[in-house]
Structure 1
Amino acid sequence: MGTKTKAVLFDFMGTCLDWHSSIVEALPSALSESDRSKFALEWRQAYFDYNTARIREGRPVEDFDLSQRRVLDAFVDQQPDIKHLFSADAKEQSVAAWHRQKARNDVQEAVEKLKHDRKWEVFVHANGSTRLQLDLVKSAGLRFDMLFSSELLGHYKPAPEAYEKAMKLLKYGPEECVMVAAHASDLRDAKAVGMKTVWTDDIREDQDTVKKENDAYLSDMTNLDAVIAGL
């Protein structure tokens, strides 16, 4: 084990959870499965874009559900051919689905190895609300030592302040922390504040770039503990 590693922080939904299946299942059944899949992907990207704009404009952290409702309203309004399928109840059901997600197949074992075999502390460090994260760890059957939401920290990732506030609360230096995420932007800023970084599993990113930028590059979490121990 690297002598200084004490904490492993995870991005959550995009990295640890099968968010896509959960949202597809909750969308109006009148849409085909392929249309629901496309809608889910584009809705998620619209949420990312919404948050990016808030960060750029210096706006405060907003409740996750409120953000998702606003994004969904605007997104549906842009699609008049399916707008009628999204009643108020359908919208509420769709937003609520973000609170119920299953873990990816290899995540639970990976987290348990980090906690029990390696004796490291493990944390969620993700945008969203604390209530959202509490609901998700229950539905996914995952156990972390602490949940750091953007709501709790007062900053969205990838702002450097989000990482610095978490480390301040943990009383750890950046050389003692490892960030695991599927988003290149999350990892770039974690590395910028001095954390070690492990990239895992997001085909949208340029693979050659993320291999060069991070301390480790994984296609899954099967050997995550051994990889971190070797950093």
Structure 2
Amino acid sequence: MSELEIDAVVFDVLGTLVDEPAGIHAGIGAFSPSLDDFEVERLLSLWQTHVEREQQRIVGGARPYAASDILDLEAARLVADAVKVDDAHAVAALARTGRRLPPWPDTVAGLARLAERFPVLALSNASRSVLLDLNAYAGLRWHQALSAEDARTYKPDPAVYRLAVTVSGRPPERLLMVAAHAWDLRAAQSLGLRTAYVARPVGDPPAPSDAFDLYADDLPDLIEKLDRRRK
């Protein structure tokens, strides 16, 4: 692609800026304190597999759209059934775990620094209400937060990325999509967005065939590389 010239930065949230597995792991542990770590990990995998599978079914047209909080509630019920807990209030509280995810150590300061240089948008598969609570809990700073709920589908459906293009009022090649998931960046790239991979322990690493615009170890590294490219 041509020289990297961008007008706004678009961030994935789950996994990229907050540690989603750690938050759900903590929620499951609190839900059933007698579980050992191995059992909690097994139930975390059950939760994640359900949500990912149902999102894929929605994107593929096999299921009507359901917001992320609905999918989280379904996952919480699966966890409750696995540990034989029949308490609707406790299950509802467990489902809200997705609204209380810890930010990575560099997230808050990194967003603040970037927000001084560019308009910064969130683009998340989380529903509008989940995204609101999650942003407040983790202390995330945005100029605007966009939910896939507005497109009634999930990433990597192109309709989700078009939200950022439409709302920003910029052409796609002037937007930089930042994510810890290579699949997310590939989808953004297919619509013409510029791309930056940020390494996280829970992300989806790039394949040798990927050619993203930037590769960063963390947000400070991303900011340094952006500053160098702008000089």
Give the TM-score, by structure 1 length.
0.86
Judge conservation of contact 2:114–2:120 (CA < 8 Å) in 1.
Answer: yes
**Match in the other structure for 2:100:** 100
* Compared CA separation, residues 210 and 23, structure 1 to 2 (3 A): farther
* Compared CA separation, residues 159 and 206, structure 1 to 2 (3 A): closer
Out of 135, 145, 158, the position equivalent to 1:137 is 135
Deviation at 1:74, TM superposition (A): 4.4
Q: C-alpha distance in 2, partners of 1:130/1:148?
A: 8
Judge conservation of contact 2:123–2:145 (CA < 8 Å) in 1.
Answer: yes
* Compared CA separation, residues 162 and 210, structure 1 to 2 (3 A): farther
Judge conservation of contact 2:198–2:218 (CA < 8 Å) in 1.
Answer: yes
Is 1:63 the counterpart of 2:67? The answer is yes
Q: C-alpha distance in 1, partners of 2:4/2:211?
A: 23
Deviation at 1:3, TM superposition (A): 7.2
Q: C-alpha distance in 1, partners of 2:165/2:5?
A: 14
**Match in the other structure for 1:16:** 17
Q: C-alpha distance in 2, partners of 1:186/1:11?
A: 8
After the TM superposition, which of the residue ranges 150-159 and 33-42 deviates more from structure 2?
33-42
Q: Please give the per-residue CA displacement for 1:173-195, whole angstroms capped at 9, x wherever unaligned.
A: 11110111122221111001111
Unmatched runs of 5 consecutive residues or more in structure 2? none
Q: C-alpha distance in 2, partners of 1:200/1:45?
A: 23
* Compared CA separation, residues 205 and 103, structure 1 to 2 (3 A): closer
Q: How many residues align?
A: 224
Q: Please give the per-residue CA displacement for 1:112-131, whole angstroms capped at 9, x wherever unaligned.
A: 11111xx2011110112111
* Compared CA separation, residues 155 and 228, structure 1 to 2 (3 A): farther
* Compared CA separation, residues 160 and 178, structure 1 to 2 (3 A): same
**Match in the other structure for 1:128:** 126
Is 1:112 the counterpart of 2:112? The answer is yes
Q: C-alpha distance in 1, partners of 2:68/2:98?
A: 10
CA RMSD of aligned residues (A): 2.4
**Match in the other structure for 1:183:** 181
* Compared CA separation, residues 75 and 94, structure 1 to 2 (3 A): closer
Judge conservation of contact 2:200–2:218 (CA < 8 Å) in 1.
Answer: no
Judge conservation of contact 1:153–1:166 (CA < 8 Å) in 2.
Answer: no
* Compared CA separation, residues 206 and 20, structure 1 to 2 (3 A): closer
Q: Please give the per-residue CA displacement for 1:14-40, whole angstroms capped at 9, x wherever unaligned.
A: 110122222222221121133213322
**Match in the other structure for 2:145:** 147
Give the TM-score, by structure 2 length.
0.86
Judge conservation of contact 1:12–1:125 (CA < 8 Å) in 2.
Answer: yes
Q: C-alpha distance in 1, partners of 2:203/2:18?
A: 18
Q: Please give the per-residue CA displacement for 1:129-168, whole angstroms capped at 9, x wherever unaligned.
A: 1111111111111110111001123332111121123211
Q: C-alpha distance in 2, partners of 1:104/1:204?
A: 11
Q: Matched residue of 1:158: which SS?
A: coil
* Compared CA separation, residues 227 and 12, structure 1 to 2 (3 A): same
Unmatched runs of 5 consecutive residues or more in structure 1? none
Q: Matched residue of 1:148: which SS?
A: strand
* Compared CA separation, residues 207 and 13, structure 1 to 2 (3 A): closer
Judge conservation of contact 1:127–1:156 (CA < 8 Å) in 2.
Answer: yes
